[in-house]
Structure 1
């Protein structure tokens, strides 16, 4: 699908996120691969989405499942070959799909040749390509910075007799973007994939791109600090205001360098992931004007309490604080609990997970912005509650049982309703499938009215034909406590979107001058009431 004439393709687009380890295995080793994605591109295209974003598939020791890159230009053999990626890209383009790749620019794997050389001595050609510092006189790390995964953000290297910085795992050393040679090298890694013809780059953890050269200590997080801090529940990372290791002022010229590179290739899309900061105004800053990122997405909606007042407050924040920037929205991804499970855990939404799944989709694609749809959300997949012996995520292993990690949202995509792996693989999959996922498989839902998949396809097709829904303005409307209502408008059309974020009926009558949008998939309003989990769209007459 393409955007309305005059809009860049990504503005108002629905972008389908593929987590390659868990999408489709054609190699028989229980791990998804690039040929598997190519095999299932027709499913993605049939949804009516605009693009797919593929999480990292580069050569990696997989300590963080691909977010620790050892070679940015080489497909890891477990996922296939560079030729397999070329085939995927060509087939996606044939189907009218744009393709985005995930660039991890803040750090590499400790197995990357850059780091191997950097750690070999203090005077080699790449000695300053990573953030190295001497110990304090008492042997402690240079400052109080903490890793997202727990513990100090510094590890000792006995060869250099220095500490190196890692914002995440100790096997993910932080690149020194204050070094111009590093900047040029990493721009070159981006250029490699742009030369291949990819349509966009998703930039991982972008506020961590540069750190304070003076290495000043972070202050403690105080009550009232407006910061969307990451880290697992109970992690000491959440006790700091990350003033000096996130969102430094000199990141902006670097974003401009990235944008200038991308602009050389024409209609490409730069999307930044923003976390560990006050993410909405930081997103506005990173995407302000015509020379920085095109858009950012935050963890605000990923972590949002699913109530009408809370979502209305977030929508108002996007409207008031984005400063003209274009947001990208997501309720789910590979880093958080499945949205259906997260929402249905609240008393006011518990009871009907299929209805919650449809509500999630309808709200997500109605808010102003581009949209990220995580694989399986079109099926209404639920979180898988894995036992400790099945956990492989280092996050979950470190913080179990208070936090079970990210594996529960990364389990294999169910294509059929039979077999151990539900059509994902001919072998035992790297993570077990969900016990209730057979009934939610693509085969079980496709072509069947009333299913989440059928609803998703109808919803996306209807939205695709409504420019107001893709790119129009948004104005919140009044409603009862459980009802989220807003209008989307452009020069030629206006749509009123109404959602009952509750498992009980809500009183609602359309204002004068509005009639039901008959082509839209919805529950509608019955005798002045929105039913539980109700969805209704109206047009102005």
Structure 2
């Protein structure tokens, strides 16, 4: 590879403040993407090596999960230094090289900003817990015990148990929505906000193009410390936490999704707007109010550009009815807002298993639902390996690393099954991920789906993703156009995407049987090519075979 330019010299991507709208963002879980130094853990140099692959796929940007200094209790989502790289992943110089190479290839770089909480080893927390009157005493959420010594509220942690941890130094409880080693920052303190905005500026100055904001709706809590009310059993679901977790028994109205967050997000957006084309996507974890929160965080043009909720990341299988309901409800709630859709990520069971298991033709099914995802109004996140059709790995208890899975085993096996190593070469040790024993096993059943096994095979899922992303790029209506649903029956999803003078009809059969869509006799539709599907249209009707799709331009 040619010598990499430093930031001041590197070629700038074209300035497009709207690049994020309709962008396809490829998520990299760095521990599991590519190991470059033989220690069994992926790293930044490994990502650099594989950037040409991502560019050849057709993605617009990458999102890199946390690589900051961390004791790794939650594998990087417990940050002990926001402005440095953990040595297991490399150095700041490696990150500069990554930025330069990504930009050379036309890829924008988004990083995971985890600011709702820190590690308990962060210097801020060490100072905060040292006394009740130090300079950072109010930087975290501290509260006295109830008279009987129990926690201040009934709030629960997503990782199990109370969200309050007793600290013997201050003789108080501190709040942690996740692990006890992940204390929550106090966003009601403006100094905390200023420090976190300073962190954001540090990475923007280093050349990043945007951020994925982890747990964006967890930033603020109610200062009144009211107990959350119970949630009726019929309203409980397992979008945010697994069904075995009593977290689902509460209506979380006081410990997250607080209205004060809007003012902070406006401050965050004002900082982004100081830069030529910086953008952010927020993760919203709220099973009851997710749509409402996404709408409020993205509407108005003065907060984050886009958010994603767990509508399509939940266990419930995707269906024609659900797709239409989610998209139309979002459009009604936030006509000027923007969402980012995903079927898989590092926190949920891979959709190839979650939805694809039991389908008559699994590969055909994965092709049609991926085409559906990439045709919806909104931006798209693709999770590493989904383009290969990787399923959830079934790991033995002794192989588990995730504290979430260890806590709730065996009813909930945690997140390790979707975090196993990327498979590059079916004939290489550990699928070409590492020459050493990987931090998680590389499943034997994944080897047949490695990049080397699919590359160049026009019938493979990998080549389907490449083909469809090129098709999407050729028609701007997919990225930024409006959406209007058409009448469909059974497993059929049909809609139009419209931008300017271009209007495209899209139809998808999510089932194994034959299906059709009636366009009405007054529409003349010209079939589009290049997408790889073989549906037909005649006499105002689209005919779809098993797991079929059809695209045409309305004349």
Is it true that 1:209 corresponds to 2:219 in the alignment? yes
Asked if the contact 2:509–2:515 (Cα under 8 Å) also holds between the matched residues in 1, the reply is: yes
User: 1:381 maps to which residue?
Assistant: 390
| Superimposed CA distance per residue, residues 322-371 of structure 1 (whole angstroms, 9 cap, x where no aligned partner) | 231011111110001111111123x6xx1222112212210110000011
Distance 1:208 1:38 in 2: 32
Range with bigger deviation, 312-321 or 127-136:
312-321
| Superimposed CA distance per residue, residues 56-113 of structure 1 (whole angstroms, 9 cap, x where no aligned partner) | 0000011101000000011000001110000000000000100001100100000101
User: 2:27 maps to which residue?
Assistant: 17
Asked if the contact 2:387–2:465 (Cα under 8 Å) also holds between the matched residues in 1, the reply is: yes
Residue pairs, 1:88-107, within 5 angstroms? 88-107=98-117
Shift of 1:526: 8.4
Distance 1:39 1:4 in 2: 24
Asked if the contact 2:421–2:438 (Cα under 8 Å) also holds between the matched residues in 1, the reply is: yes
Shift of 1:434: 2.4
Range with bigger deviation, 84-93 or 384-393:
384-393
Asked if the contact 1:149–1:232 (Cα under 8 Å) also holds between the matched residues in 2, the reply is: no
User: 1:452 maps to which residue?
Assistant: 461
Distance 1:327 1:75 in 2: 30
Asked if the contact 1:227–1:241 (Cα under 8 Å) also holds between the matched residues in 2, the reply is: no
User: 1:289 maps to which residue?
Assistant: 300
Cα gap change, 1:4 to 1:328, in 2 (>3 Å): farther
Shift of 1:177: 0.7
SS in 1 for 2:331: helix
Asked if the contact 2:13–2:103 (Cα under 8 Å) also holds between the matched residues in 1, the reply is: no
Asked if the contact 2:237–2:243 (Cα under 8 Å) also holds between the matched residues in 1, the reply is: no
Q: Which runs of 5+ in 1 are unaligned?
A: none
Is it true that 1:539 corresponds to 2:549 in the alignment? no
Distance 2:234 2:498 in 1: 35
Cα gap change, 1:360 to 1:435, in 2 (>3 Å): farther
| Superimposed CA distance per residue, residues 513-537 of structure 1 (whole angstroms, 9 cap, x where no aligned partner) | 1232123221323896412111211
Shift of 1:420: 3.5
Range with bigger deviation, 387-396 or 101-110:
387-396
Distance 2:488 2:55 in 1: 36
Range with bigger deviation, 498-507 or 484-493:
498-507
SS in 1 for 2:55: helix
Asked if the contact 1:220–1:241 (Cα under 8 Å) also holds between the matched residues in 2, the reply is: yes
User: 1:232 maps to which residue?
Assistant: 242
Distance 2:513 2:395 in 1: 31
Range with bigger deviation, 518-527 or 414-423:
518-527
User: 1:279 maps to which residue?
Assistant: 290
Given the alignment, which residue of 390, 403, 406 partners 2:412?
Answer: 403
4+ runs of 1 displaced by more than 6 Å?
2-7
| Superimposed CA distance per residue, residues 110-156 of structure 1 (whole angstroms, 9 cap, x where no aligned partner) | 01011111111111111111011111111100010000011000011
Is it true that 1:498 corresponds to 2:510 in the alignment? no
Is it true that 1:177 corresponds to 2:178 in the alignment? no
Distance 1:420 1:220 in 2: 51
User: 1:488 maps to which residue?
Assistant: 497
Distance 1:331 1:153 in 2: 29
Cα gap change, 1:472 to 1:6, in 2 (>3 Å): farther
SS in 2 for 1:487: strand
Range with bigger deviation, 238-247 or 120-129:
120-129
